[in-house]
Amino acid sequence: MNNKVLIIEDEKKIARFLELELAHEGYDVDIAYEGRDGLIKFEQNEYDLILLDILLPGLNGLEICRRIRKEASIPIIIVSAKDETTDKVCGLDIGADDYLTKPFAIEELLARMRVHLRKLQKSNPGDNKLKIADLMMNLDTHEVFRGDQKVFLTNQEYELLKYLLENKKIVLTRDQIGSKVWGYDFEDNTNVVDVYISYLRRKVDQSGKVKLIHTIRGSDNFEGIDILRQMYLPVLEQSFTPPPELPRPRGFKPPVLVETSLTSAEMIKYASNVFLALKISYINEIGGLCEKTGADIKEVAYGMGLDPRIGSRFLNAGIGWGGSCFPKDTLALMALGAAYDYSMPIIDAACAVNKRQRQVVIKKLESQLGDLSGRTVGILGLAFKPGTDDLRDSPAQDIIKLLVERGVRVKAHDPVAVPSARKLLAEYQVEYGVNPYQTACGCDALVLITEWEEYLKLDFLKLRSVMNTPILIDGRNFLNPAELNAVGFLYEGVGIGDACLGNGRGGVYRESPSGQAS
């Protein structure tokens, strides 16, 4: 069997080159162009070696390495343009087995891969084993290890774990487990399977380790559905008494209980979130066309939203969606399609549009300032949405990476997400301000990424006074352009064409010989 390699690399030319070279050498290759997609592929497949870039969209390569190392001892070779000694030390300390800087000779990479695969073969002679993450079952010796620690199991526990490992990532019913492991069907009211799963979980899912055994609650039978219906009855009928501080909203429509199979319920969840992601990417596509034609995307979206078939929600043009739900569910739905050899180009296109929206900010900055090298840019908002410190797939991550790659000094502010950002964005050497004014001081431009309410209440005259050049790119169309223009800002939103600029909706910065904005 050929060794299987996962390449996590956002530069498509490099990824394709590596794929061709490795395939020529007899390797089976998978490619992920985004960090989170790479992590999902790792979790859903078995690989012998990973080639990992550091500067990745969605999820940083160092964070991917850290998460993989928590679960498995698979060889990881970092292949990155970051060539400082501190970069190499950081990568190796976080869990990588090797570090190769770009540009590199393919012969050297292949040699390093052979070294690590030889080490892997020596540590796995015969390879008559079942594995997932850092859990390993030796079918010859009947030994089970979680990492370096041996797990002692009874014969029945061993057979149960063996069946689970043989069907990893597959949901098994009690009937299937009982029939295969015990050899007969249990009565409906027995809890033998539950008891042994509990025994196994105590021994395998040790404290501090990633949980490997998961129980999925649900049912395709009428009894299970009836239990759920009874449990949610007070909510469905709105028969409960709301607390005094949270009165029941007027005109509130009670929720509906929809009875489906488990498969349909899962599909409803994925399809709903992905549809909203498609809607956002679509309005961003229209926003790009508005900029070309001179239309105003806010007016266009308002008009579209009046149509009850469309609705006004999720029609806000900007720098795209992020967070945990939309990116995860779009990738999950595409992976599900791929598992059934069913392509979903419309979802692929929506993801491509979302990734492109990050570039919109860079292009706007370049159109205002020209070459960005040596410039200072301030970022207002780091979290993927207001009200959280969550930076998962935040547009801020990609935009900061793109700015740093262009030689920009990056400053940033966020009301709550700075502690998280210090850990996640450590390699970019971002300077964090205690308030927006400190962040704006000395900046050639500001970029608003997260629509925190407090940014609406800023003293924009004071903000302008501390900047080198009063340029503000509003990545969410959140601020009032007329208010900003009135105090001397050159404001630019997303999806607002040149024909709208004379209406107080934006402007282009030009510097006169005297150094004054014109």
Options 3.40.190.10, 2.40.100.10, 3.90.550.10, 1.10.10.10; which CATH number does 130-204 get? 1.10.10.10
**Phi–psi pair at 293, nearest 5 degrees:** -95, -15
- pLDDT value for 185: 65
Please tell me which residue in 325, 351, 443, 500 is annotated as part of the active site. Answer: 325
Is 67 assigned a ligand-binding role in the annotation? Answer: no
The chain-wide mean pLDDT, for the chain, equals 86
Question: 81-128 pLDDT, tens per residue?
Answer: 888 888 898 889 888 999 999 988 999 999 999 998 888 766 555 557
Residue 294 backbone class (left: φ over 0; alpha: ψ -120 to 50; beta: rest): left
* DSSP symbols for 238-292: T-SPPPTTSPPPTTPPPP------HHHHHHHHHHHHHHHHHHHHHHHHHHHHHHH
| 3 state SS of 402 | helix
The rounded distance, in Å, linking the Cα atoms of 314 and 327 is 15
How many other β-carbons are positioned within 10 Å of the β-carbon of residue 131?
18
Sheet containing strand 4-8, strands side by side? 28-32, 4-8, 49-52, 76-80, 98-101
Is 314 assigned a ligand-binding role in the annotation? Answer: yes
Annotated catalytic, 65?
no
pTM score, whole prediction: 0.56
How many other β-carbons are positioned within 10 Å of the β-carbon of residue 139?
12
The rounded distance, in Å, linking the Cα atoms of 260 and 216 is 16
Residues 6+ apart with CB under 8 A from 70: 210
Is 318 assigned a ligand-binding role in the annotation? Answer: yes
Question: 436-468 pLDDT, tens per residue?
Answer: 999 999 999 999 999 999 999 999 999 999 999
What is the CATH class of 4-125? Answer: alpha beta
Q: What percent of the chain has pLDDT over 70?
A: 90
- pLDDT value for 305: 92
Q: Do domains 4-125 and 130-204 have the same CATH topology?
A: no
The structural domains of the chain, with segments of one domain joined by +, span 4-125, 130-204, 262-351, 356-503
**Phi–psi pair at 42, nearest 5 degrees:** -60, -40
Question: 387-443 pLDDT, tens per residue?
Answer: 998 898 899 999 999 999 999 999 999 999 999 899 889 889 999 999 999 999 999
- pLDDT value for 282: 95
Is 392 assigned a ligand-binding role in the annotation? Answer: yes
Is 316 assigned a ligand-binding role in the annotation? Answer: yes
> What fold, for 356-503?
Rossmann fold (3.40.50)
Extract the residue ranges of the chain whose pLDDT is less than 70.
Answer: 1, 121-127, 169, 184-190, 207-209, 216-224, 497-518
CATH architecture of the domain formed by 262-351: Orthogonal Bundle (1.10)
Is 385 assigned a ligand-binding role in the annotation? Answer: yes
**Phi–psi pair at 498, nearest 5 degrees:** -60, -30
- pLDDT value for 506: 46
